[in-house]
Structure 1
Amino acid sequence: MVAILHLISLVALSSLASALPTPLPNLKFPPIVPKGLVCRLPIVQRLLCPRTTTTGLIVNTPIGTAHGSVDTSAANRFAVKYAAAPRWQNPSPVTAWVLPNNATDVTALPLACPQPGLDDSSFSEDCLSMILYVPNNLPTTPVPTLMWIHGGSFIVGSATGPGLDGSNLAVATNSIVAVVQYRLGALGWMQPNGGTNLAMKDLMAAMSFLKVVVPSFGGDPSKVTIAGQSSGANMIRALLAIPSASSLFQNAIIQSDPMDYGFLNPGAQQTMQNYFNGLLTCSKSDTRCLNSLSLDTIINAQMNLFENAYTLDPSATQAEPMRPVRDGQLITTTLDSSSPFPHVSKPILVSTVLNEAALTIYGNFDTLPEAAFYPVVNATFGSPRTNVIVNSAFYNDANLLAEGVTIDARTQLETLGTDYIWKCSSWTFARNWASNGGQAFVGMYVVGASYPGNDAVDFCTQPGSVCHQDDIEIVFGTVPSPTTAQASLTTEMQARYASFMRTGNPNPSGSSLAHWGAAGTSNVNAILLGGSGMVPINACSPSYWGQQVLYDYQTFGI
């Protein structure tokens, strides 16, 4: 039987200790004009380098004039290319303000990075772009910037994905919102010569770009918060594990990260790299041949790897085989319970949703008898983890069975998948963070807005269900015709994000919102987002997941 729980994260397919940026390893950054360097120093910036905005749609930056377009009555939009990258090479920061894809129309949005499921005209390999959303009436005091990293299992998604218009979020938080793109799939993760983490380097180039330009828009380059959902959240966790990225951002927001998977280790990456290279008609050192390959050829080989990676190395998973690699050079720690946790200091927000696993479980099975529970779990976990799980009161409905009640095993599997891939693994991460010097604020969404595509699964349209991705439009304030509960939660989360971006604390000063306490080393103090009170601990006790039942990253030693 297919190890169905390893497919759960596929739901994402539906959709400077100083103010100066730190260069990426092995990247040559061209010199910035002296005025640009000077104006990135906060004190000088406030006194001698005021914003040089000509109008709301024309902004002079250290790398040229930015031309924007009206996005809403309260905010403007600036699409821009932040870096260039020849195929399978490190990104090079731009030295001039350039519209994406050689566009001349300032209203044009960037094409997506190459990915399956899109017409070739919808994507471009020249895709390292971002969209800045800037409120019309920012104060004279520099404001923070939020950089959003989209999800999509590392193989799909873009800055123009559903619900990702950042205008409402920017206006509500009185900040600049930047939604970024990065290389996907094989182009971002499977460098034939054995290099790793190109997509991570893209994000570092994006943050370096923001450090240069946001002062011109009214932003404070020392207050950059990175945020993202699903695989985008996974990349944020990877950025937290990159020492050379630390000076590029201040705080981090992690939404629905499948932390159970862990980062790939070099051995698993090499196994997959060898397989991928074997699908190509070029040697790994023949740059001319590799550059001549069509995107369709690369994507076809990528999807072949995607479908078979789990059989090559189980730690790859069936859901996110191409992902950040703990290479010891860029990413230097596992940042989980499989190795010593480093000292940390940045404040983080960590959230999940009520029914993370529902899209996969209810999307793959119309019904599932109780008798199927054991074989499905065993196919995923093997022994002895399966015996501990099926005999646990957390997932065993023996009392109901004894009473002759018919049980749909999908209910148990959804709870199990949500716990081990997302919720409990996130809580373990928060405890580790708190135990090693950092502050972590943990929450779970019990109100959501059905993300486009989620309505294909009936369970996700039922009252009270909150499926993977259903937090996105809440945060961005892009829910169509929101209910009172949705509108209230959007207002709350945007107020909390505004506070967190400025102070590292999601409790706005003087607010009537319920207090959100930081996680401790045992109790993570997770709050209900959209409800009142605390999230029940249940199986997320420190003595169960990670102890009695090991996470995948512990089981596979990654």
Structure 2
Amino acid sequence: MTAPGTPPGAPRPPVVRVQGGTLQGQWGSEVAVFRGIPYARPPVGALRLAPPEPAPPWEGTRRADTFGESPPQSLALGMVAEPDGLAEGTGDWLTVNVWTPDPAAGAGLPVLVWIHGGVYMIGTSDGPAYDGTELARRGTVVVTFNHRVGAEGYGQFEGAVPNRALLDQVAALRWVGENIAAFGGEPGRVTVFGESAGAGAIAALLAMPRAAGLFRRAVTQSVPGPFYGTDLAADIGSAVAAELAVAPTLAEVAAATPAALRDAADTVLGGMARHEPRWGRAARARMPFAPVVDGDVLPCVPWEALRAGRSAGVELLCGHTRDETRLFTVLAGRLGRVTEEEAAATLAWFAPDDAGRAAYRAGPAAADPTALADLVLSDWLFRMPSLHLAEAHAEGGGTTYLYELTYGAPGLGGAPGACHGLDVPLVFGTLRSDIGTLLLGAEPPPAAAALSARMAGAWTAFAATGDPGWPPYGARDRLTHVFDAGSRTAPYPEEASRLIWSRHEFTAMEPVPGAETGRAARRP
């Protein structure tokens, strides 16, 4: 007898038993899909701004055919078109989704766990670009999940545990370790992979004692450099609380609705320019949230931890795109319109030192203000943090593989180049997703499909064996795999930038010494 609601002649829906109870999923294209599985209790009510707690078990068979609710999403970034239904939701944000080609215990397949990006302020696991079907068809079990973002996940408030987003991720990984065998995955072969803020979160997990042993391998795609110290994070948290007209404490902030807290954080984001004297590069980059080096959940910045050999037993695949921030320039309508004065300001804010500024001025990008601004910001925000993470891991005794994506996106008239986010649809094989269509066009060219197959093949091979198909990175030869229409392995291509940043240390960012406090007083 088939399950209720199953058309005659259709295969039985896939059913698995996990620690919480029985789950019924759906069949996709050659893979079984399970959506919206709770890995923690809803972090609302008494659990607001608290560490995640394990999800309770359920009776009977739970339908796992719908993605879970999205956590509060920033509306100020212009990437969430409509209100997110927070008023009608239950707060059941902490859920996982699983794609598997073999939903049978004991299959022993490698596991890929995705951590999404989104400036630490947006992102959910139901994005069409994150569909795990194609990667699962390559013989892996793919997991995606939601975690708290923005002020819910990263806001620093007195009495609240810091880095709740990272603790959500630890809880999700624990769920994977305890349950993934039921889906045919091998708990001892878990690889975390993520892009942008997701890569920054993975870098943090590599430095966190609480995450030790939860994954065997890691892939970081475009690691962002900003990590915040406690004083800076508290400054920003106080500004958010001031918008709510409350004190920056757990009790008072948690009394606000999730929508109100989200809106308060969006207001702070919109007014960050006035905080530049105090918050420095964090305000200039318009980034109100980042992982916080609090000394407990996150003891130190990832580069320091990896250099000291922490997580040396975790194999690391790390890389970035060539033209990271070009997409932001294009979408803002600024391509070819950046003035010399604006480029000079970007150079003054984000170059590592005077010698670095002079080197940028002597380079080929100096003739074009847009190119110069994009290069400097790309290096500061993504390219050099990624390179330094690979170098730190290798220096600490870890096996490290480095890559760069140089394939130019044909969408938007080819203007974005090898931009930030292009690797996501290429790795997932979701070329016709929203971002895939934006960057690759409505009909992706054969070269993009071939490149996608190579990148997906490298990621799944790394998850299975620890070897993506090229030699490890070392300080002597700096071998890097370059993904393009014709891929190759060569010494790190961005040598000029590497030299400019070779003496720079990515440390926890704090308020500018001597600047007036950016903390806003409680409103009457």
Give the TM-score taking structure 1 as reference length: 0.76
Question: 489, 493, 500: which one pairs with 2:462?
Answer: 500
Question: 136, 143, 150: which one pairs with 1:170?
Answer: 136
For residues 370 and 114 of structure 1, what CA distance do their matches in structure 2 show?
36
For residues 502 and 327 of structure 2, what CA distance do their matches in structure 1 show?
25
Partner-residue secondary structure (3-state), 2:187: strand
Q: Is the 8 A contact 1:449 1:473 kept in 2?
A: no
Gaps of 5+ in 2: 1-10, 433-442, 513-524
Partner-residue secondary structure (3-state), 1:80: strand
Distance 1:284 1:425, change over 3 A: closer
User: Match of 1:271, as an amino acid?
Assistant: D
User: Match of 1:357, as an amino acid?
Assistant: T
* Structure 2 partner of 1:374: 344
1:272-300 deviations in whole A, cap 9, x for unaligned? 2222222223445573x544423332112
For residues 216 and 22 of structure 2, what CA distance do their matches in structure 1 show?
27
Answering whether residue 394 of structure 2 is matched by residue 428 of structure 1, we say no
Distance 1:122 1:387, change over 3 A: same
Identity of aligned residues (%): 23
1:189 offset after TM fit, Å?
A: 1.1
Q: Is the 8 A contact 1:81 1:94 kept in 2?
A: yes
1:495 offset after TM fit, Å?
A: 2.0
1:430 offset after TM fit, Å?
A: 1.2
For residues 171 and 435 of structure 1, what CA distance do their matches in structure 2 show?
36
Answering whether residue 230 of structure 2 is matched by residue 276 of structure 1, we say no
* Structure 2 partner of 1:109: 67
* Structure 2 partner of 1:197: 163
* Structure 1 partner of 2:291: 324
For residues 385 and 551 of structure 1, what CA distance do their matches in structure 2 show?
15
* Structure 2 partner of 1:77: 34
Q: Is the 8 A contact 1:354 1:466 kept in 2?
A: yes
1:116 offset after TM fit, Å?
A: 2.6
For residues 247 and 99 of structure 2, what CA distance do their matches in structure 1 show?
43
* Structure 2 partner of 1:392: 362
Partner-residue secondary structure (3-state), 2:318: strand
Answering whether residue 426 of structure 2 is matched by residue 474 of structure 1, we say yes
* Structure 1 partner of 2:55: 94
1:444 offset after TM fit, Å?
A: 1.0
Answering whether residue 487 of structure 2 is matched by residue 532 of structure 1, we say yes
Partner-residue secondary structure (3-state), 2:324: coil
Distance 1:266 1:326, change over 3 A: same
1:239 offset after TM fit, Å?
A: 0.3
Distance 1:269 1:369, change over 3 A: closer
Q: Is the 8 A contact 1:449 1:471 kept in 2?
A: no
Distance 1:385 1:321, change over 3 A: farther
For residues 299 and 330 of structure 2, what CA distance do their matches in structure 1 show?
38
Gaps of 5+ in 1: 1-53, 398-407, 508-515
For residues 350 and 59 of structure 2, what CA distance do their matches in structure 1 show?
48
1:140 offset after TM fit, Å?
A: 5.1
* Structure 2 partner of 1:232: 198
1:383-412 deviations in whole A, cap 9, x for unaligned? 736742443335434xxxxxxxxxx32122
Q: Describe how 1:484-495 pairs up with structure 2 within 5 A.
A: 484-495=446-457
Q: Is the 8 A contact 1:374 1:386 kept in 2?
A: no
For residues 269 and 340 of structure 1, what CA distance do their matches in structure 2 show?
25
For residues 59 and 248 of structure 2, what CA distance do their matches in structure 1 show?
32
1:109-167 deviations in whole A, cap 9, x for unaligned? 22211113344454543201111111147795411211101111011111011311111
For residues 173 and 18 of structure 2, what CA distance do their matches in structure 1 show?
16
1:503 offset after TM fit, Å?
A: 2.1
Partner-residue secondary structure (3-state), 1:352: strand
Distance 1:91 1:369, change over 3 A: closer
User: Match of 1:264, as an amino acid?
Assistant: Y
1:485 offset after TM fit, Å?
A: 1.6
Answering whether residue 146 of structure 2 is matched by residue 181 of structure 1, we say yes
Question: 404, 414, 417: which one pairs with 2:377?
Answer: 417
Distance 1:137 1:187, change over 3 A: closer
Aligned length: 469
1:27-71 deviations in whole A, cap 9, x for unaligned? xxxxxxxxxxxxxxxxxxxxxxxxxxx965111223210110123
* Structure 2 partner of 1:297: 260
* Structure 2 partner of 1:347: 315
For residues 132 and 139 of structure 1, what CA distance do their matches in structure 2 show?
14
For residues 166 and 254 of structure 2, what CA distance do their matches in structure 1 show?
21
Distance 1:423 1:81, change over 3 A: same
Distance 1:334 1:92, change over 3 A: same
Distance 1:152 1:57, change over 3 A: same
Partner-residue secondary structure (3-state), 2:383: helix
Partner-residue secondary structure (3-state), 1:469: coil
1:293-331 deviations in whole A, cap 9, x for unaligned? 233321121112323455341253434331111111111
1:544 offset after TM fit, Å?
A: 2.3
Supply the RMSD in Å over aligned alpha carbons. 3.0
For residues 338 and 246 of structure 1, what CA distance do their matches in structure 2 show?
12
For residues 98 and 245 of structure 1, what CA distance do their matches in structure 2 show?
30
Deviating more after overlay: 151-160 vs 427-436: 427-436
For residues 397 and 26 of structure 2, what CA distance do their matches in structure 1 show?
43
Distance 1:164 1:251, change over 3 A: same
Q: Describe how 1:104-183 pairs up with structure 2 within 5 A.
A: 106-117=64-75, 118=80, 119-123=82-86, 124=89, 125-136=91-102, 141-172=107-138, 174-183=139-148
User: Match of 2:321, as an amino acid?
Assistant: V
For residues 501 and 59 of structure 2, what CA distance do their matches in structure 1 show?
49
Q: Is the 8 A contact 2:49 2:164 kept in 1?
A: yes
For residues 252 and 227 of structure 1, what CA distance do their matches in structure 2 show?
6
1:435-468 deviations in whole A, cap 9, x for unaligned? 1110111111123667xxx84x8612xxxx2211
Distance 1:557 1:72, change over 3 A: same
Deviating more after overlay: 366-375 vs 329-338: 366-375
* Structure 1 partner of 2:518: none
1:185 offset after TM fit, Å?
A: 0.5
Distance 1:551 1:458, change over 3 A: farther
1:507-534 deviations in whole A, cap 9, x for unaligned? 2xxxxxxxx1111124431111133332
For residues 328 and 249 of structure 2, what CA distance do their matches in structure 1 show?
40
For residues 321 and 352 of structure 2, what CA distance do their matches in structure 1 show?
27
For residues 59 and 246 of structure 2, what CA distance do their matches in structure 1 show?
33
* Structure 1 partner of 2:519: none
